[in-house]
């Protein structure tokens, strides 16, 4: 059997161990799907506006080993005893577990496969159940997409068990919205990066439809990733903050679309694609002239600016049913700042792909620094801690550093020369981790603080793949 790129000896050994825990009935084949996490170099909070991103798949992965079972259900176990076993039936609409349950990500992935294939005539009654064992090694709640690693590996393992095939772009499109199931209106960056990753390359990914250009990482470039230890927990406050920004960006897009007399605009990407002659600053100016910088969260004023009814706008922006976005109505929606970040960031991403490819690390670092500043000032998703750790990375000699992922905690990424990676790490250890005292009572809840430092040089690795494991 030829092993696809990305599997190292340790992962193959992990898969073999997990296979022993899978309940493979009769002569059922055993499959192992491996999907990496990702770190985003630049292009933050642009994906759900349909605008480009520049992530790398990382060399930390989740593995799901699976075999068909006769019952139409998923039997699920996790190699980490903190996550207890689950069992659920395969159905056209799978009800979710309580908010925060780890297995909701597995359900999200299975639901995504069911939705995709039932639209193509393969219905749930034709699908086999599976015994699955999960082993995740992407640090959780750190902005490194442990959730995408889980949804992608689950979807691919479940498809393998059912002999369903899709090419990587189709798979990325299928799983792009899987996190909507758990209530986050995420864009498709994480899943696309996990599937389309390429060793030693960053990925310039565009959306609607998904396209990718692999950008070679210069040989002298190193990526240092460091966790702030502030938990970016997507099941609580961070999800509300994230979804709020999705709404703010969509509202800004609609107002700009109307000001520019464009039809059918729902996201900022529609505006950018329909206005090739306009730069970010000009678009921001146009928006500033068309509406106040912030609008009431009851959407009354917004509806009147757009000339639509308030209930219709509410339903379009917030959705309906269980995944409807609940907005804190006491604070206004920041239209102008959010659009200024997204439009400016889009120009930076496009430039970044070129300067990285040309090996101009110094310029790339400056773009990353500018991205962080914009995320802090206009997108308001940095924290004191993220700012502090970013500062330490820069002081240690990085070309540039920024928060990566949604922010509100989680990790930073620093770009540096291979030769200075150690000094960047040392500067983070001395200037940041040494000052956090895990023994002292935290002002925050226990859940918002981790005690283990994670900082490492991560390498751009290959995307997800599935292998057949020998049966005993």
Catalytically annotated residues: 190
Distance of closest approach, residue 273 Cβ to ligand NG1, in angstroms:
19
Task: Please choose, out of 139-147, 201-209, 258-266, 347-355, the segment that lies near ligand NG1 by the rule CB under 6 A.
Answer: 139-147
Distance of closest approach, residue 472 Cβ to ligand NG1, in angstroms:
37
Q: How far apart are CA 406 and CA 236, in angstroms?
A: 13
CB 438 within 8 A of CB 421: no
Site map 362..401 versus ligand NG1, x via CB under 6 A: ----------------------------------------
CB 139 within 8 A of CB 412: no
What single string gives the DSSP state of each residue in 409-442? SSEEEEEEEGGGHHHHHHHHHHHTGGG--TTSPP
Residue 226 interacts with ligand NG1 (CB under 6 A)?
A: no
Q: How far apart are CA 434 and CA 447, in angstroms?
A: 21
Helices (H) and strands (E) in the chain, counts: 14, 14
Residue 405 interacts with ligand NG1 (CB under 6 A)?
A: yes
Distance of closest approach, residue 188 Cβ to ligand NG1, in angstroms:
7
Residue 344 interacts with ligand NG1 (CB under 6 A)?
A: no
Distance of closest approach, residue 326 Cβ to ligand NG1, in angstroms:
16
Q: E strands along 341-430, which residues?
A: 400-403, 411-417
CB closer to ligand NG1 out of 145 and 228: 145
CB closer to ligand NG1 out of 238 and 355: 238
CB closer to ligand NG1 out of 24 and 113: 113
My answer on whether omega of the bond before 209 falls inside 30° of 0, hence cis, is: yes
Sole binder of ligand NG1 in the list 11, 47, 227, 230 (CB under 6 A): 47
Task: Single out the residue of 124, 204, 214 nearest to residue 164, CA to CA.
Answer: 124
Burial bucket for residue 388 (CB in 10 Å: 0-12, 13-18, 19+): middle
Residue 269 interacts with ligand NG1 (CB under 6 A)?
A: no
How many residues belong to the site for ligand NG1 (CB under 6 A)? 19
Tallying the residues shown for the chain, one arrives at 472
Other beta carbons less than 10 A from residue 468's beta carbon: 11
Sole binder of ligand NG1 in the list 183, 187, 409, 463 (CB under 6 A): 187
Sole binder of ligand NG1 in the list 65, 186, 223, 313 (CB under 6 A): 186
Distance of closest approach, residue 21 Cβ to ligand NG1, in angstroms:
27
Q: How far apart are CA 63 and CA 79, in angstroms?
A: 10
| Residue 256 Cα distances to 46, 260, 267, 280, 284, angstroms | 16, 6, 10, 12, 9
Binding footprint of ligand NG1 on the chain (CB under 6 A) = 40, 44-45, 47-48, 143, 145, 147, 179, 184, 186-187, 189-190, 232, 234, 405-406, 410
């Amino acid at each position: 059997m030829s092993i696809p790129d990305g599997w190292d000896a340790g992962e193959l050994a992990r898969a073999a161990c997990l296979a022993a825990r899978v309940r493979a009935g009769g002569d059922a084949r055993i499959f192992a799907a491996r999907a990496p996490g990702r770190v985003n170099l630049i292009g933050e909070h642009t994906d759900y506006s349909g605008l480009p991103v520049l992530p790398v798949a990382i060399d930390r992965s989740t593995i799901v080993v699976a075999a068909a079972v006769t019952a139409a259900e998923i039997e699920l176990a996790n190699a980490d005893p903190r996550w207890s076993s689950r069992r659920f039936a395969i159905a056209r609409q799978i009800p979710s577990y309580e908010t925060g349950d780890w297995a909701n990500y597995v359900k999200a992935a299975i639901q995504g496969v069911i939705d995709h294939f039932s639209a193509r005539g393969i219905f749930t009654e034709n699908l086999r159940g599976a015994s699955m064992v999960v082993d995740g090694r992407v640090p959780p709640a750190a902005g490194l997409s442990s959730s995408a690693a889980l949804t992608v590996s689950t979807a691919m393992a479940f498809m393998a068990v059912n002999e369903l095939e899709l090419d990587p772009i189709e798979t990325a499109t299928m799983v792009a919205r899987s996190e909507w199931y758990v209530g986050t209106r995420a864009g498709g960056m994480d899943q696309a990066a996990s599937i389309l990753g390429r060793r030693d390359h960053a990925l310039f990914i565009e959306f609607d439809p998904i396209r990718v250009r692999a950008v070679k990482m210069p040989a002298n470039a190193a990526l240092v990733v460091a966790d702030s230890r502030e938990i970016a927990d997507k099941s609580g406050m961070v999800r509300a903050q994230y979804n709020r920004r999705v709404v703010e960006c969509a509202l800004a897009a609609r107002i700009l679309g109307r000001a520019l007399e464009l039809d059918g605009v729902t996201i900022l990407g529609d505006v950018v694609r329909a206005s090739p002659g306009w730069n970010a600053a000009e678009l921001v100016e146009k928006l500033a002239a068309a509406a106040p910088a912030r609008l009431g969260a009851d959407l009354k004023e917004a509806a009147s600016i757009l000339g639509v009814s308030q209930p219709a706008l509410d339903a379009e922006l917030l959705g309906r049913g269980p995944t409807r976005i609940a907005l804190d109505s006491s604070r206004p929606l920041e239209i102008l700042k959010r659009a200024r970040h997204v439009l400016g960031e889009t120009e930076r991403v496009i430039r970044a792909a070129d300067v990285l490819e040309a090996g101009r690390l110094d310029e790339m670092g400056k773009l990353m620094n500018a991205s962080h500043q914009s995320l802090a000032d206009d997108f308001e998703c940095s924290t004191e801690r993220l700012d502090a750790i970013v500062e330490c990375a820069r002081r240690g000699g990085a070309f540039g550093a920024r928060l990566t992922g949604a922010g509100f905690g989680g990790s930073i990424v620093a770009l540096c020369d291979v030769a200075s990676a150690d000094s960047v790490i040392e500067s983070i250890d001395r200037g940041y981790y040494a000052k956090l005292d895990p023994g002292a009572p935290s002002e925050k809840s226990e859940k918002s603080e981790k005690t283990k430092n994670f900082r490492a040089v991560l390498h751009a690795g290959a995307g997800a793949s599935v292998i057949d494991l020998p049966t005993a």
